[in-house]
């Protein structure tokens, strides 16, 4: 993780681990983590009750299914796209062909939110791992 004086190469950070749905914290901004993750297949339906969740697709394509008052919809995010899931919105990220993503969220935020479906074995319920782990 950056101590603020050294730049972080995101491609090198992503190359340092193989685990899917298991984000690594690359730096902090105030009380927020900047996390990168490799993703493929489906995550779980979940919601963050007190915080929005920001996604930037670094490589591949990420899909976000959303349960909103008007109904369910899916947002497709190709490489270079950003999207913020509003707090309290149930959502399920998935990447049919795999993707690399960057997330920006308050330190301590769980990857499976405050409310979630049963966790499959491939989903890491974490608040982010340090680079190199």
Q: State the pairing for strand pair 46-47/115-116.
A: antiparallel
Helix (H, G, I), strand (E, B) or coil at 99: strand
Q: List Cβ neighbours of 5 (8 Å cut-off, separation of 6 or more).
A: none
What was the pLDDT predicted at 52?
94
Whether 124 and 21 have beta carbons less than 8 Å apart is answered as yes
Q: What are the beta bridge partners of residue 37?
A: 101
**Predicted confidence pLDDT, tens digits, the chain (133 residues):** 555 678 999 999 999 999 999 999 999 999 999 999 999 999 989 899 999 999 999 999 999 999 999 999 999 999 999 999 999 999 999 999 999 999 999 998 877 666 666 656 666 666 676 777 6
Show the domains of the chain with their CATH numbers: 10-108 (2.60.120.10)
Is the dihedral angle over the CA atoms 13, 19, 20, 24 positive or is it negative? Answer: negative
Tell me the whole-structure pTM to 2 decimals. Answer: 0.86
pLDDT of residue 132: 73
């Amino acid at each position: 993780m950056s101590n603020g004086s050294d730049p972080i190469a995101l491609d090198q950070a992503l190359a340092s681990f193989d685990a899917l749905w298991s984000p690594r914290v690359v730096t902090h901004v105030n009380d927020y983590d900047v996390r990168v993750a490799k993703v493929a297949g489906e995550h779980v339906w979940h919601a963050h009750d007190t915080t929005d969740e920001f996604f930037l697709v670094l490589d591949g394509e990420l899909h976000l299914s959303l349960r909103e008052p008007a109904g369910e919809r899916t947002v497709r995010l190709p490489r270079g796209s950003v999207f913020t899931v509003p707090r309290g919105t149930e959502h399920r990220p998935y990447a049919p062909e795999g993707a690399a993503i960057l997330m920006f969220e308050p330190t301590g935020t769980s990857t499976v939110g405050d409310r979630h479906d049963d966790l499959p074995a491939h989903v890491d319920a974490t608040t982010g791992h340090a680079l190199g782990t």
